[in-house]
Amino acid sequence: MKIGFVGLGNMGMQMALNLSKSNKIKLIGFDINQRANKKFEQLGGKTSNSLTEIFENDLIISCLPGPKQLKMISIGKNKLIEKLNKNKLWIDCSTNSLSCFNLFKKKMGNKINFFIDAPISGGNIKAKSGELSIFIGGTKKLYKKTKFIFNILGKNLYYLGNSGAGYVAKISQVSLCYLNYLSLSESLMLGIKSGIKPKVMLDIIDKSASGGYTSSRYGPDMINGSYDKSFSIGLSLKDLKLAKEIINLKKLNLPIMELTKNIYTKAKKKYGDESNHLKVIKLLETRNKLTLSKKKRRAK
């Protein structure tokens, strides 16, 4: 199968590399960032400077930051949606909004049968190891046809039925990450401010009923003077705004999520769009005159 892969960022780069290793696949990548293209080539991949060439392949996979970038490649004359047919399929692994998906659905008409939304979770570590969780929406027939692709990329595959279901699952799941980061940092502060050493407090949390992936994966970054470098505050806030859109559409009352979005909004304003996503805890440290680590913060 010939695959055109759009989006060679932290996640897409590793996914494209894993796919390119398969004897059943001929993959060509594309990114608007030429440094990403060069890096992909240095790692053994093949790239193109033309989306037109990418769209000539049997299957197009996109892994982009959000709705803005998706609209740029898909809607309008000679864009991706126009080209979909039984011999040209599209799998989107981006985190997308429901309003953007509804626009796609309207533009596609019957071509929705050649589209799968399959957003991903697990970070660049799982992307590299091929152990992502993938949330899949689309026809069962198309899912079965493309399942071998998902088996290369992920370990936990969730087929959810109707198109758009994957987007909702991803937004719901990833929103909890941001709530957890803030909750973990507050729990650490509660213990540390009372005299418990940071590493001990983290170990207590990690081995308790409240411990889990967040405390084991991100807790050390909170207390050792560094941050996780794979994600930005701007992208975190983008996800929370997508969650807010669903909240409004479904007329839900979710005050903790609203509070989390507000805190991330303040963090973005103070530290900048590209600052590391865990720097949001710096707001809480400043308010409480407490630093989780005595070491100087080394990352943005």
Looking at residue 297, its pLDDT comes to 39
The pLDDT value recorded for residue 298 is 41
Q: What is the pLDDT of residue 124?
A: 86
pTM: 0.87
CB of 143 within 8 A of CB of 149?
Answer: no
Please give the pLDDT value at position 229: 74
119-154: b (≥16 Cβ within 10 Å) or e:
bbbbbbebbbebebbbbbbbbeebbeebeebbebbb
**Residue 141 phi, psi (nearest 5):** -60, -45
Q: What is the pLDDT of residue 299?
A: 39
Residue 295: what pLDDT? 62
Domains of the chain and any CATH numbers: 2-163 (3.40.50.720), 168-287 (1.10.1040.10)
Low-confidence residues of the chain: pLDDT under 50: 296-300
Tens of pLDDT, residue by residue over 247-294, are 999 999 999 999 999 999 999 999 999 988 988 999 999 999 988 886
